[in-house]
Chains A and B, each alone.
Chain A
Amino acid sequence: MRGYILRRCWHSAVTLAGVSILVFVILRVVPGDPAKMLLPEGAPQSAVDELNRHLGLTEPLWIQYGLFLGSVARGDFGQSFQYRAPALRVVVERVPATVQLTLAAMVLTVLAGASLGVLAAVRQGTGYDYAGTVLAVLGQSLPNFWLGIMLILLFGVTLRWLPTSGFQSWRHLILPAVTLAAFPTALVARLTRSSLLEILGQDYIRTGRAKGLGEPRVVLRHAMKNALLPLLTVVGLQIGTLLGGAVITESIFAWPGMGKLVVDAIFFRDFPVVQTVLILSATIFVAINLVVDLLYTVVDPRIRYE
């Protein structure tokens, strides 16, 4: 067990090292003259030379990478020239908004997805099942940037029920959270349905029914327990989808999170901020997946790792 945890942590560390190499390659090696890119447009040549020296860009690549890694480890991600502040601070200030949005979408995903899935599985072959399937297929096919705009059109422009941009109250959260949750909800609903159907056909479920347990108890206590495991993996992996979806959703609804920040940063060519967001979001993703993998052992006591 301890061996498994150590190995899993080691894998995560290797992945993060790879993440740093990839970011280094994209932002330092590919552009050819990264110092120019890391400075505002029209910066004087003396500033370019100064930054080149500071970043060690005249050194061989592997030394450059070492310097890059060193400054990242110290939390020095460079200066954002759009905000004239350390890039890390600029990004960290935006994290709460993104966390709020993704958490809301996550809760919505699990609640709506699992209920739809359970309903479809329990009432297999009925109108509920078909309606659920149609909803799930639509949820996976509507691009979230279009769904968001259509929600704005319906609830903001036409009905005037909900605000369409900004961050002031919980009512501002509704449309972005629904937009972001649509795709993963569809996925979770389909998965819950299929894994629950498989489990409901098993012997121990028949035993439960035979000894006179009520149907809700059989489904929710006995079957759902085992349907949870694949659900957990998918929900864990959806964190990446949600963080990515947040890029577009936040841009549509002017939600002041990391996603909107990175899109704005790209148009300002504020690469220190881009670099910070990339590294930070990958780190969050790797950490969450590590936690999900370790949670397995808690959720499913049958799993024993050597």
Chain B
Amino acid sequence: MSRLVRHPMILVGGTLLLAVVVASVCAPLLAPADPIKPAFGQRLAPPRGLGGGAAHPLGTDNLGRDILARLLYGGRFSLTLAGCALLLGAGGGVVVGLAAGVFGGRLDDVVMRLADVQLAFPVIMLAIAIMAVVGTSPTAIVSVLALSGWVLYARTVRASVLAIREADYVEAARVLGASQARVVLRHISPNTLAPILVLASSQFATMVLLESGLSFLGLGIQPPQPSWGAMLAEGRDYLSNAWWLATVPGIAISLVVLGANLLGDGLRDLLDPRL
């Protein structure tokens, strides 16, 4: 605990992320309004304190829907998709990186060349091309995000395996007759955990950004389902008379990204004092 106090970024970042997650989970309690059904009688109502009523704390959008409700329900989609993609990408990347590092040789060459190929494409370009071909289902979104994430984990894990593989204690385990699988699972992989944790928390930010970027371009979660990126894109047409439409979802995205980045930076300071 005292170590956490010395790394306030972990505390601040973690709290920010947790707050957004809890708010999204409790969406029906915090915002009882329907996030999808239009109510044309109350279009573009300003937020409370700027002339709006208590019924819609963050105002309403161009179809009269409560922005707070759309924000929180949209958060459920964004955070779930980003979380699933993170797990999938990290899982795949770690397995591939472990295999490349442990077995080396031809496998290692192939994996690293694959990583180079993928890094040659701007992530968002590759993502929109794939989304355009396979369609915009949630499964497709998660797969595309995971696909864009695996490379970094694979490279990181491979690099730490290469460093650890020759360590004395690993040699000792081998000499004592530990099997290859045991050496990898019990002795090598636990020591790759720290960089993975650091990477994962900053990658969560990237996943949220990518997901909302895709839905901003119209290639993510499809309307009328709420999503942060799409809310932003819709709000763009109302900048001159209802600026809050585009402002509010952007703040939500920024808070999540900020939280994840701070958490990542703090974890790096905590787990790897050399950096």
List the interface of chain A (C-beta within 8 A of B): 11, 14-16, 18-19, 21-22, 26-27, 30-31, 37, 137-138, 140-143, 145-146, 149-150, 152-153, 157, 240-241, 243-245, 247-248, 251-252, 262-263, 266-267, 269, 271, 274, 277-278, 281-282, 285-286
Contacts and interface: CB of A to CB of B under 8 A. Distances in A.
Give the one of B118, B120, B240 with max A CB within 10 A: B120
Contacts of B249: 146
Interface residues of B, number: 44
Contacts of B257: 140-143
Interface of A is mostly: helix
B262 A137 contact: yes
Contacts of A277: 125
B213 interface: yes
Interface stretch (B95-103, B128-136, B168-176): B128-136
Interface stretch (B79-87, B149-157, B216-224): B216-224
B113 interface: yes
A262 B125 contact: yes
A39 to B, nearest CB: 15
5 contacts: A19-B117, A27-B133, A145-B229, A243-B122, A278-B125
9 closest cross-chain pairs (CB), A and B: A244-B122, A146-B250, A18-B117, A141-B258, A282-B120, A266-B132, A141-B257, A244-B124, A243-B122
Interface of B: 113-114, 116-126, 128-130, 132-134, 205, 209, 212-213, 216-219, 229, 232, 235-236, 239-240, 243, 246-247, 249-250, 253-254, 257-258, 261-262
A137 B261 contact: yes
Contact of B216 (A16, A248, A271): A248
Given A26-B133, A142-B254, A153 B125 contact: no
Contacts of A263: 128, 217
A138 B205 CA distance: 13
B213 A281 contact: no
Contacts of A247: 122, 124-125, 128, 217
Contacts of A141: 205, 254, 257-258, 261
B261 A140 contact: yes
A152 B239 contact: yes
Contacts of A11: 116
B232 A145 contact: yes
A267 B209 CA distance: 21
A266 B131 CA distance: 9
Contact of A153 (B132, B213, B243, B254): B243
B122 A37 contact: no
A221 B143 CA distance: 48
B269 to A, nearest CB: 12
